Structure 1
Amino acid sequence: MKLNALWRHSNKLFKHSFALFTLSSLSFAAFAAPLDKSKIQFIGPLAENMQLKPFQTAQSDSIISNLLPQLQLPVANFSVFDKKHSWQPFNKINALTLGGLQALKFNIETTRFSQGTLTLKGIEQGQLFINGELQKADNSSYKLALNNGSHTAIIVAQQVANWHDVILDFAPKTPSDNITLSTSQTKRLSAKQLFDAPTISGLSLAPNSEHYITTTRRFNDKTLNQANNVTELKNTDNQTLYRFEAEQPSNLIWSPDNRFLVYLLNGELKQLNRKNLSIKTLSTRLEGASGFTFYNEHSVIFSWSNPASDKGNDKLTKHYKGLQDRWSYARSVSQVYMLDTQSGLIKTLSQGPLSHSFEDFNNKRGKLLMSRPVVAMQASTHPETELVELDLKSNKLTSLGKFKTFNQAKYANKDVYVVAGPDFKNGAGRALPKEMLANNYDGQLYLLTDGGKNVKALSKQFDPAIGRLSVLNNGDALLKVTEHDTQPLYLFDLSKQRFKKLNTGLDIVEQFSYSNERNIEILLSGTTASSPQQLKRFNISKNTAKIVWDSKPLSYANTYIPTLEEFNFTNKNGVEISGRVYIPNNLDKTKKHPALVYYYGGTSPVTRGFTGRYPFNLWAANGYVVYVIQPTGATGFGQKFSAQHVNAWGNYTSDDIIAGTQAFLNKYNYVDSKKVGNLGASYGGFMTMHLATKTDLFSASISHAGISNLTSYWGEGWWGYLYSGEASKNSFPWNNPELYSKHSPVFYADKVTTPMLLIHGDSDTNVPVGESLTMYTALKLLNKDVELIEYKGANHQIIARDQRFDWWNTMLAYFDKKLKNEPQWWDYLYPND
């Protein structure tokens, strides 16, 4: 009787066209309810006069696979063999049987991880695709496991005896497995969109700005972890003149006379004529060569690694010659060469046991800038770099100085720009009180004059951290900087000694290339926090940008993007701490919702990229209010702010995160203060562990590649001692043991009360996996709530597509379990058996 009552209740819901299937009784678990046909779209017959159906051929999978992308498009109609077809409601179909192919499409909305069985009744030959992935069938039944989000279901029907008999049943696994059929074309943001969307991975603008090159990268279910790259030569009308699809060129450069595009392909240097598109090989057997740049019309400078320098790696033992020998590439030696493009002759510009890095050239003066380590294996937390100048006529090498902090050098007419930390040249760039130690990751701009004898600090009063440096023909500098949580472009006017921000309209400039004509143009790509990648052309004199290419209509059309709000607060020291908040679409603010708090790793702020390894927009799309905070110690806010990262190891940062989270909860009163999670990576992973020993403010924590013991990280990570040279400046286990013990979370593991997930790549060379193993061991022995997930073969970052999706799912599933009381997703990914 109870089952019959439930059946009648279900029929009543169906008759009222309700598409929401809510099961409120345990006896409902095996109950199947038909899907509302008015919420399902139908198209067909497609190619009704075909002699054989695809399933009757050996190429069935390929035929359906090629049709699928068209079926997935959010369009009302399309043509097949010159016949126009339109999608229409399935409940309007009166046909008994049809020739060719037919397809059904419907959108599924889930508000939590949901499982169930979808059964296709009446379809004798058919295939089900969910979000483009073919589902495995068991007698026309499909077991579904749907993440929280929007899903597109496509059914390709090849043989149906009577369409009146076709019914789609869904049986939820448990009463909480709810799905909603939606007719809306607008969907929530998905992980596939963020990872698979086409992006500009490389760009270059011709010196006369008449042509440009872009490399577009995209992923899909067919190529899986293998990216599909296409490099194209285009004109100012954005028309493609030449395309590389199979083998991809690298090291693309333009000849100074604008006649040729030169590139490296399979160890050969090729020359493409821009006028007639003919190709000529300039040089072969260039394996290990990189960094090509034209010195003049017929000479190219490049770097070339010596493979012989790696010999001995196959021995049974490795004898360490210095600290850098922990790096797999430490004994590789690279030198600078010049190639004559007319004869193919190559000559050496540097030599010796030390690697030389090409920095810049000045062909009017016949000079070349290079940098090199002072000694091959330096035992120092701040290894010295020597900047040298080569006179190409006399082969005379002149030292411009040896520096403990150095990033980049470029000519500025007769002088030299240098990007380095505040301590460059005995602290020439310091804008700090005497008692404060500088953070040399905070890049500054300098001008070396008189052959390196004198230095002028150009950015002492400029708070953004200097990153990439390029120099225009007039000596002005084009700079990519970190400014708070943005990465804009600035122009430094050498004659007026002032910085000017370029109005690109982007929060994050990812790549840029510029012309050398009088009216300078810049080709650049980037994003904002709430809009995906765009390619733009920027006119410096007008300070205006024009969109050339936009990924939004290509991959994010009809997609809800979470709302973004700025949220700043003043900490106990009177310093404003900036942040931003991502809010899910259509959030019911009369209810309480879970939240996530994220903070920086290393000493760099969390930038406003639209996506990345930590997809804030995706988290918000899954129902979390996301607070990103920029605590004390980050670069881009001025030297005093970043200097507080030194010898702190969480002191100021943790105070800011705790105070910021409390201020966030006070303002956003629709956030459930008992359902707040926190997470970070690398130094941010350390912060997660550190916070867990100091506060019970958070209800669940995730540490990715975090540091649990400062001493072991300092001694074992490939760059541990170098990073510690800033983060633990002048402090070592023997002269400051308190810093290394009192700031190491594992020493206070007994204080942890927050459930914690530790994630680590088992091949991490930056922060070895032992850091998570150590904390896991401690928390397990203390009987704490802790989980550890290792990603096989992964280094410090999760790169591969399959691992990235699994990683994103793992983090959300863990927070769903701990913050939403929804353990099903986690249990599905990591069952106890």
Structure 2
Amino acid sequence: MNPRSIWLGKKPSLKTTLAVLTLSTFSSSLFAAPLNKADIKFIGPIAADMQLKPYQTEHQDAIINNLLPSLQQPKKSITVFGEKLKWQSFDSVNALTLGGLQALKLTASAERFTQGTLTIKGIEKAQLFINSEKQTPTKDVYELALSQGDHQIVIIAEQVANWNDVEFDFTAKTDTHTLTFSSKEQHGLSAKQLFDAPTVSALSLSPDAKQHLVSTRHYQDSTGNTANTVTELKDDDNRTIYRFESGQPSNVIWSPDNNYIVYLLEGKLKQLNRKTLSLRVIAENLDGAGGFSYFDNTSLIFNWSKSPTADSSLTKHYKGLQDRWSYARITSQVYLLDINTGLSKILSQGPLSHSIEDFNSKRGTVLLSRGTQPMLATTHPTTELIELNIANGKSEVIGLFNIFNQAKYSNNDIYVTAGPDFKDGLGRNLPEDMLSNNYDGQLYLLTDNGKKASALSRNFDPAIGQLEVLNNGDAIVKVTDQDTIALYLYDKSKQRFNKLKTGFDVVEQFSYSNNRSPAILVSGSNASSPQQLKQLSINKNKAKTLWDSKPEGYANTDIASLDEFNFTNAEGVEIKGRVYLPTDLDKNKQYPALVYYYGGTSPVTRGFTGRYPFNLWAEHGYVVYVVQPTGATGFGQEFSAKHVNAWGQYTADDIMQGTQALLKQYPFIDKNRLGNLGASYGGFMTMLLATKTDMFSASIAHAGISNITSYWGQGWWGYLYSGEASKNSYPWNNATLYSDHSPVFHADKVTTPLLLLHGDSDTNVPVGESHNMYTALKLLGKDVDLIEYKGADHQIFARDQRFDWWSTKLAYFDQHLKNEPQWWQYLYPKK
């Protein structure tokens, strides 16, 4: 067993158990207590006429595991083979033997990481589950290792000689290890819920808004890291009319005439008739093909990529900076596919890759973008936007741009999204002496075939991201709006932005229709409420909820309360933030706090869950402060421009000043128990702060940058990112920036215990960045730990690694901020 799975209550291996037992040798006594039967729920007999018990068959585990989910639900009764059975208190059971199966359910609540043994007496044949995971006993004794929080225990009994003799005892390892047992169904938020609960993974709305496709996925113990995904075709009343369960479709598109859906599945391009649900294969053997769209009712337009022949030579000669990327020599061209025959014809050609930006089937034209030179040695690769006439194969250059994100037709005009420096600074709204942050997306309109351009969002503070265009020429834009992700409608005729009322703090995915009254299908969440799926009428600007994950994934769950907390920094600028407060907060007590930030030119948005689960940290008894320091997009160009050539200069001040303001506002936070953490640029900030202040008692940096020069030269996109973060500055012309702002050059100033986390296959911020800091701090005799996740890249995605990663961070802070080292020592025992 991986000892980092302790929050699931798994039985440790002998090796791990021995290592853990050494932690308890200082206490020679054990602390035992019988469980009160009134704290246990009982149901049974289940299928009293059962001739053979599951253990007497060849399918015991399958039978038990299929029954388990029904028993775990917070319901007062279940119905089995037509018989309704009610849960009752175990102390009301007075029986010798009962037919069929019986089940018991209880909640074990830990105020801190707790180890001990649960002994069950009087049940000859039983299976015990903690948080859905089966436990393996030694005789009748189960080893427990539970993190802070509520844990559901379910016992399914198959053979009991006398129910009056059934007893439960819990024996703690030490007097600090305590569990409270109860029959309550209300519980605190768990890591499993945040990762496993159902979410919308894909969505698509038909052009007439009468049908939509939605994919939902969830995780469970039996499938481990593999998601369980189901895609359904639904009508406008949200009723399912077609269901994909085994293979899952991708690249879903709808025919303009509203008759068909086309999608990729199992390597084949398939067409589904929306009325008859009949199916045909259009084409196959399409490896490398993607981005399919209906060009018209009879043809599809798509990109088809070709990988170079495998190179078996002993060396690789780099042709340019991009050759460090594993995919750099893959080329992609544009094709048109005839739906009736499956025949494809190429539209673009040459050594350069072409990408489809948009197309206009009535005019017979396609907007394409391409890099002007492969392997170009520049921090801002130049993009050429061209218009291709399909009928004669001729192309016209619309423009050559150093800054470019996306382009879409708007009738005879073209929308472009790009940074403020597009077209020689057309979108700039800054003092003359400031450099733009081109991650701060802006919206432009090109007219007269690109000869004229106008900036549409220069006075619009949100940063423009995804762009879509309606039939009337208006645009839907997904934007970063302070710490939210929102949808806005750009009214082209009135030249103004109108916010669409999705009801979400964070819009995740959206799809729109092309009818006269266009609608938007959108998924998203709020800081304190999980994901929902809604449909919004653009004309009425009103949304209705189609699906809510809360009843299914978060029933009877306590969620942290949320405060808005903003302060004015020393420069007179308001810095936004928010504070998550533990449930059952007692303001007369003192609480540890965690300060989280990013700082890498994007705000930390208000999604309910994600890689950094603020609500979970609050459930573990921490006040959590999320701060949006200077340099983030979504707050206006001048705010984001301060990110350029700063490398933490303003960000560090805002974090430290914000933390001091936090302590004044919330006197129940213990100033001597503050932790801070961040990832990527936020990991860089953690290391940098450790060289500037001792206000924190423990710090965690995930995938952080310790040496700006080595990141610039070795990270796959380091030099590209530095093109904005270090604009016009290089190690040879601004050595001070690259050295003075690099944490490793100031490692001797660190006094705070520091945990470095990193994926050992990180291509964005190579793992050597953590090695640099670890080596320096070890040589200096500082308190530092380094943990690598094997095979992980810049982010931790896999379910087992994610749980391990979350537990590791909480255990580290528990050790340093709560004086509770047991969880950390359990995960990483000293040899």
CA separation in 2, counterparts of 1:626 and 1:65? Answer: 37
The one-letter amino acid paired with 2:648 is G
Q: Distance in 2 between matches of 1:426 and 1:314?
A: 45
Structure 2: how far apart are the matches of 1:71 and 1:265? 36
2:490 to 485, 489, 492: 492
- 1:601–1:65 CA distance, 2 compared to 1 (3 A): farther
- Matched AA of 2:747: A
**Deviations 1:591-630, CA, capped at 9 Å, x for gaps:** 1000000001521100000000000000001100000000
* Match of residue 562 from structure 2: 564
Answer yes or no: is the 8 Å Cα contact 1:432–1:639 preserved in 2: yes
1:678 corresponds in structure 2 to 676
Match of 1:749 in 2: 747
For residues 336 and 102 of structure 2, the distance between their equivalents in structure 1, rounded to whole angstroms, comes to 63
Report the Cα distance in structure 2 between the residues aligned to 1:165 and 1:196, rounded to whole angstroms: 38
Distance 1:811 1:585 in 2: 20
Taking the aligned partners of 2:213 and 2:455, their CA distance within structure 1 comes to 36
> Whole-Å Cα distance in 2 between the matches of residues 337 and 366 of structure 1?
14
- 1:730 & 1:111 partners in 2: Cα distance? 53
1:775-829: per-residue Cα shift (whole Å, max 9, x none)?
0000011110101110000000000000000000000000000000000000000
**CA displacement at 1:313 relative to structure 2:** 4.0
- Corresponding letter in the other structure for 2:187: K
In structure 1, the partner of 2:39 is 39
Candidates 390, 395, 405, aligned match of 1:407 = 405
The Cα offsets for residues 444-484 of structure 1, whole Å up to 9 and x where unpaired, read as 00011111111100000000000000000000000000000
Do the aligned partners of 1:579 and 1:627 also contact (CA within 8 Å) in 2?
yes
State the partner residue of 1:477: 475
Q: Which runs of 4+ in 1 moved over 6 A?
A: 24-28
CA separation in 1, counterparts of 2:286 and 2:310? 22
**797, 809, 813: which one pairs with 1:799?**
797
Structure-2 separation of matches of 1:197 and 1:177: 30
Q: Aligned partners of 2:669, 2:299: CA distance in 1, in Å?
A: 63
Deviations 1:731-788 (A, max 9, x none): 0000000000000000000000000000000000000000001100000111101011
Mapped partners of 1:313, 1:202: distance in 2: 36
Q: Does 1:298 align with 2:298?
A: yes
Structure 2 equivalent of residue 220 of structure 1:
220
Shift of 1:45: 1.0
User: Where do 1:328-367 residues align within 5 Å?
Assistant: 328-367=326-365
In structure 2, the residue matched to 1:6 is none
State how far apart, in whole Å, the 1-side matches of 2:467 and 2:117 are. 57
Give the Cα separation in 1 of the matches to 2:315 and 2:540: 61
Q: Does the alignment pair 1:699 with 2:692? A: no
Counterpart for residue 167 of structure 2: 167
Letter in 2 for 1:572: A
Q: Partners in 2 of 1:116 and 1:196 — Cα distance?
A: 27
Please report how far the alpha carbon of residue 283 of structure 1 lies from its aligned counterpart in structure 2 after TM superposition: 1.2
Question: Does structure 2 conserve the Cα–Cα contact (< 8 Å) formed by 1:29 and 1:171?
Answer: no
Task: Provide, for residues 364-406 of structure 1, a one-character-per-residue CA deviation record: whole Å limited to 9, x for no partner.
Answer: 2221101000101110011101111101122111111111111
Q: Which moved more, 1:662-671 or 1:597-606?
A: 597-606
* Structure 1 pair 724–31 and aligned structure 2 pair: CA distance change class (3 A): same
Confirm or deny: 8 A CA contact 1:26 1:174 kept in the other structure: no
CA contact (8 A) 1:29 1:172 kept: no
Percent sequence identity is: 67
C-alpha distance in structure 1 between counterparts of 2:144 and 2:506, whole Å: 38
2:241 paired residue number: 241
Aligned counterparts of 1:248 and 1:794: Cα–Cα separation in 2: 25
Paired letter, 1:279: L
> In the aligned structure 1, how far is the partner of 2:25 from the partner of 2:231?
57
Distance 2:600 2:311 in 1: 31
Task: Count the aligned residue pairs.
Answer: 808
Name structure 2 gaps, 5 residues minimum.
1-23
Q: Hey, what does 2:15 align to over in structure 1? A: none
Partner of 2:184: 184
Shift of 1:314: 4.2
The SS at the match of 2:529 is coil
Task: Determine which of 618, 638, 644 is the counterpart of 1:620.
Answer: 618
- Structure 1 letter corresponding to 2:251: N
Deviations 1:642-681, CA, capped at 9 Å, x for gaps: 0000000000000000000000010010000000100000
Partner of 2:325: 327
Alignment-mate amino acid for residue 831 of structure 1: P
2:266 & 2:304 partners in 1: Cα distance? 15
- Amino acid across the alignment from 1:62: A
Contact 2:95/2:163 (8 A) holds in 1: yes
Structure 1 residues 427-442: aligned runs within 5 Å: 427-442=425-440
The residue aligned with 2:71 is: 71
Shift of 1:49: 1.8
> Structure 1: where are the runs of 5+ without partners?
1-23
Q: Which amino acid aligns with 2:630?
A: T
Distance 2:318 2:560 in 1: 51
CA distance in structure 2 between the partners assigned to 1:29 and 1:633 by the alignment? 56
Query: 2:727 aligns to what?
Result: 729
Residue number in structure 1 paired with 2:633: 635
Query: Which one is further off, 168-177 or 179-188?
Result: 179-188
Instruction: Determine the C-alpha separation between the residues in 1 that align with 2:81 and 2:701.
Output: 54
3-state SS of 2:530 partner: coil
CA shift digits 1:509-563 (9 cap, x unpaired): 1000011111111100000101100000001111100000000011111100100
The AA in structure 2 aligned to 1:177 is: H
More displaced stretch, 390-399 vs 726-735: 390-399
- CA distance in 2 between counterparts of 1:38 and 1:449 reads 76
The Cα of 1:266 is off from its aligned counterpart by 2.0
Which residue of 508, 511, 524 maps to 1:510? 508
Q: Secondary structure at the match of 1:802?
A: helix
Q: Aligned Cα RMSD in Å? A: 1.1
Instruction: Find the partner of 2:775 among 769, 774, 777.
Output: 777
Structure 2 Cα separation of the partners of residues 764 and 637 of structure 1? 30
Answer yes or no: is 1:369 the counterpart of 2:367.
yes
Q: Are residues 372 and 398 of structure 1, via their aligned partners in 2, closer, same or farther at CA, if it must alter by over 3 Å?
A: same
TM-score computed with the length of structure 2 as normaliser:
0.96
In the alignment, is the contact (CA less than 8 A) between 2:600 and 2:631 conserved in 1? Answer: no
TM-score (normalised: structure 1) = 0.96
CA offset at residue 315 of structure 1?
Answer: 3.5
How far did 1:28 drift? 7.5
Query: Which residue does the alignment assign to 2:830?
Result: 832
Q: What amino acid maps onto 2:601 in structure 1?
A: T
Deviation at 1:26, TM superposition (A): 7.8
Pick from 764, 769, 775 the counterpart of residue 762 of structure 2.
Answer: 764
1:48 corresponds to = 48
2-side partners of 1:25 and 1:648: how far apart?
A: 51
Following the alignment from structure 1 to structure 2, what is the Cα–Cα distance between the partners of residues 822 and 624? 14
| 2:539 aligned with 1:541 | yes
Aligned equivalents of 1:83 and 1:203: distance in 2? 39
Indicate the residue corresponding to 1:253 in structure 2.
253
| 1:184 CA drift (Å) | 2.4
Q: How does 1:572-587 map to 2 (within 5 A)?
A: 572-587=570-585
242-251 or 27-36, larger mean C-alpha shift: 27-36
Aligned to 2:265: 265
SS in 2 for 1:452: coil
1:84, distance to aligned residue in structure 2 (A): 1.3
State the Cα distance separating 1:25 from its structure 2 match: 13
- Aligned partners of 1:368 and 1:390 also within 8 Å: yes
Task: State the 1:287 CA deviation.
Answer: 1.3
Please give the per-residue CA displacement for 1:669-709, whole angstroms capped at 9, x wherever unaligned.
00000001000000000000000000011110000000000
Number of the residue aligned with 2:105 = 105
Hey, what does 2:21 align to over in structure 1? none
Instruction: Supply the distance in 2 between the matched residues of 1:756 and 1:239 (Cα, whole angstroms).
Output: 53
The answer on whether the counterparts of 1:510 and 1:525 sit within 8 Å (CA) in structure 2 is yes
Residues 682 and 704, structure 1, Cα contact 8 Å, conserved in 2: yes
Distance in 2 separating the partners of 1:478 and 1:376: 33
Whether 2:190 is the aligned partner of 1:202: answer no
* Counterpart residue type for residue 121 of structure 1: K
Write the distance in 2 (CA, Å) between the matches of 1:581 and 1:288: 46
Cα distance in 2 for residues equivalent to 1:695 and 1:281:
64
